[in-house]
Structure 1
Amino acid sequence: MAKLNLLYERTPIGTILKSSLHEGPLRVQKALYPEGDDICHTVIIHPPAGIAGGDTLDIQVSVAKDAHVVLSTPSATKWYKSFKNPATQAIQFELGEGAKLDWLPQENLFFKGADSNLLTKLDLASSSSFIAWDAMMLGRHASGEEWSKGRIHILNEIRRDGKLIWIENGNIDAEDIYSRSLPQLGSWPVCVTLWAVGPSCSNALVDIFADMMPWTDSLRAGVTLMPQGVLLVRAVSNDIEIARNFMIDVWTKLRPMVHGVPAQPLRLWAS
């Protein structure tokens, strides 16, 4: 069991990491300011570098009024084979009035036999904005390992001013034929989702990004706006680097529209 609780506040000198409480092997090192004092960058570190069966990672992030935070991870999260109990990552984000958050983790890599729960919940104010992505790679294809056994449970929830506006509850079972059918993942080993919510998320964004959506032999994507104003971009691919670069391109163009600030590539992406 590992826990991390982060609280960010906006002060006269900019956004600061007010408190960082951790239990077990889950922590941050220090606040970084590559974009200036207004935007606080933090990298969440899990020293074991992998999640095994029975492990639970509990992350809670609060971004207070008018603060802007960028959160990321230094490397792929590896989900190892679960011999008995499932592994769980539960993340709770809370955004105050006018707060902004970019959640840009590296991909999740699921080993054959992984039994995983990915739970992400967001509660934001009507004037705050949020951009996040989640990438999954099923199996270690560089090592010739296919994801022929395993399960992934995904639960995403977004609440605005306490009211539920979007929920996604899905289950991917490697041994379920339907999971590999065309309406689901087909034979694609990589799937990614980017979602954004904020006052500027409208149908106009769908029109802008529709032309960016590729449909090739290596990457296929689509964009939609949910009725309550949640923008979704989904893609499948046979290459995690291609998918990652696509999401970076979308975020780069989307960030000024949603957060009102220019996009600056993370230093982690250059490594």
Structure 2
Amino acid sequence: MNIIVVSEPGVYSSEVSLADIKQLSKAVQIIAFSDIDDRTSGSIQKDLSNRCSNPPPISIPTSRNSAVQSTSMEKGFPRDDKIIATNRLTFAVPEVFVQDLNINYSSLVGRGAFGTVSKGKWTGLEVAIKAIPITKRAKNTILRTVEKEININSKLRHLNIIKFLAVARTDNTIYLVYEFIMGCNMEDAIFSEETKLDMDVTAKGKLYIMKQVVQAALYMHSLELVVLHHDIKPGNILIRKGCLST
């Protein structure tokens, strides 16, 4: 987040760059109320009040592939489902291009009921990418499940909860981008002799791991809209090698 102090009226925008990637924000007009005539200030105040109570819909940012992006939105996400293709963004992560994720399909991290998780790279970070195929037979069910996962995970920000970073899509697949944990899950740490030797978790380390699991659950339960995990088990608890961050 950038906080920019503006002292003069005018039109301002901000450029953010990372390596060779640059993005320019939308222009924002700053008006000095001291320069406005008293006869017009009333109508301007009223206009601003209307804008605050009825903000305009947020549009999808234009890009080098905006036409293709718009088409895939309409094809992949029916309006009835109110997924991320709606004109109001309901989640706090960016939508990115699939080709920017550099997915390594040969490096499979895991497999679940809805899709597979592979390693990839995005903006220089090593990430875990969940690929969820959208089949015609179960399209509505899958879209509802994905919408729920996006809306919940994008609002969770805690040291002991995997960070949800971005979303990408094609006509047939949705990609959810998460931080990658270099280590193992608790199930392997308990039942795999090889992993157990590699991780070398002491009795004190076990208590430290469980404390972090409880901290994550406590955070979710203390939210204004309580989040219940419903599936906390060894296979869903990831532990970093060395520091045992969980």
Higher Rg: 2
The bucket for the TM-score relative to the shorter chain is under 0.3
More helix by share: 2
Name the one with the larger strand percent: 1
TM-score, with normalisation over the residues of structure 1? 0.23
- Length-normalised TM-score, structure 2: 0.25
